[in-house]
Chains A and B, each alone.
Chain A
């Protein structure tokens, strides 16, 4: 008898018997097990499932409303990206996981999935299913939540966190926390966050924003950049020595900087709309001059060039703005305008290069990640360097393409983090002293006026 016939018959028999089993039995039992053993490593699914739980009869059901796209890497490997529009979560997987995903319809048990998978791929995917279920659950891709396991797990972890917190606080971390809070308050790190900005961005794109992507506009940008950079070598017609950097000059530079970051983020958002994807949230800190825009939905764009274009749009806007300011210097009527434009041109050219640094999670990083077609490049590289690189080097094992990338990128990113930490530690006291001095200056000026 072939497996197909035997399997279908047994499957049918088991479907009848499985209906008598409590639908949530697996998760109930897992929950009980967690409850019974609060001190154990509750996230070890293998350990949990080893407790004679009827895992094979569990019938996972994927969410009803989801978006799934197929993509193909430059190496010809097919992948699938799935999005939960309600939760705003994204996952990527290959053909094997897609096979399992398609069977997660609430009708097929883990046993059914495993045997069908075995028939198709010649391997039993037990561990794969366990890991996949855990990830799908944590990212809200399963319709019927295995509540008990995760609720109990969360509760246990929260309880542990509370216990450890009370110990830590008693050892003085509360004081450190307050100091850090005060420090960030001094830096003015409050960011105004705008939620669900997709609608206004879409309207702006339709009512003219799309013209920025017209072929003629693209030629104009290139011409501007070439002229702007050429202007740098011509020099200014004004002598800056006749000018003084007064309050009005600083005010206009500040306005220019706000404009710079708004245009940088708008460039990302509009390019995201240009490729038909959703722009989620955005934020801006007027004091710290920091901003962000959430373009996570670009994961649903299968063409890596389009994803790279969205990341490139920000630094490119800096390059264009830098060129515009540079050209403006030639026509600047007063030395003060010259200073403002020189400052803004320099800032924009510097921002162009700093944003392209791939070793921090800035635009250059996303471009590199998309070019290499390795999602979560940074996290995976650092993980590889931390946990696997030493072992591989010791064993003198060969590295595949991904591992080579992880090793090089992970080491460079780690080195960069170390440099930043050292620089931060060295310059932090100066920054604090500078801030305190400026505040003290304002206070003394205020008092002297009184």
Chain B
């Protein structure tokens, strides 16, 4: 939208601040605008109908805490020790 008329601006402001109007506008723009008492010509209405409101995605990401964890050392160690112990006992016997 390179240029916006004052009437279009009124509709935009209503779209931002009025949830009921917004819902109505995306169901039936003509009826919603008429109900709000804003008179738009065809060109103005066509410009507003082309608005991208629904598909706008966001890349906002809440970043994770980065924790380096040394876990499972005991498990690995006990496993290794068990193997070493069995090796020692087998060699002794």
A193-215 interface (Cβ within 8 A of B): none
Residue on B with the closest CB to A240? Answer: B88
Residue of A nearest to B5 (CB): A1
Chain B interface size, under 10 / 10 to 19 / 20 to 34 / 35 or more? 35 or more
Contacts of A292 in B (CB 8 A): 67-70
Stretch of A127-135, A167-175, A219-227, A403-411 contacting B (4+ beta carbons < 8 Å)? A127-135
Q: Is A293 an interface residue (CB 8 A)?
A: yes
- From B68, which residue of chain A is reached at the shortest CB distance? A268
Q: Which of B46-93 contact A (CB under 8 A)?
A: 51-53, 55-56, 58-74, 76-77, 80-81, 83-85, 87-88, 91-92
Q: How far is the CA of A3 from the CA of B92 in the complex (A)?
A: 91
CA distance A244 to B77 in the complex (A): 17
B9 at the A interface (CB under 8 A): yes
Say yes or no: A124-B16 contact (C-beta < 8 A), given A342-B84, A376-B63: yes
Known: A3-B9, A253-B81. A139 touches B62 (CB 8 A): yes
How many Å from the CB of A239 to the closest CB on chain B?
7
- Find out whether the CB atom of B16 lies under 8 angstroms from the CB atom of A56: yes
Known contacts A90-B62, A296-B63; 12 additional CB pairs below 8 A are A6-B9, A97-B60, A111-B16, A123-B52, A124-B52, A132-B58, A245-B85, A253-B77, A257-B74, A347-B76, A354-B76, A375-B61
Task: Tell me if B43 is interfacial: C-beta within 8 Å of chain A.
Answer: no
Q: Cα distance A115–B15 when bound, in Å?
A: 11
CB distance from B89 to the nearest CB of A (A): 9
The answer to whether A93 touches B61, judged by C-beta atoms less than 8 angstroms apart, is yes
Contacts of A244 in B (CB 8 A): 88, 92
Min distance, Cβ B33 to any Cβ of chain A, angstroms: 15
The binding surface of chain A is classed by DSSP as helix
Are A376 and B64 in touch, CB under 8 angstroms?
Answer: yes
B12 contacts the other chain (CB 8 A):
yes
A interface with B by C-beta (< 8 Å) = 1-3, 6-7, 10, 46, 49-50, 52, 54-57, 79, 81, 90-94, 96-97, 110-111, 114-115, 118-119, 122-128, 131-132, 135, 139, 239-241, 243-245, 250, 253, 257, 260-261, 264-265, 268, 288-296, 298-299, 310-311, 314, 339, 342-343, 346-347, 350-351, 354-355, 361-363, 366, 375-376, 379
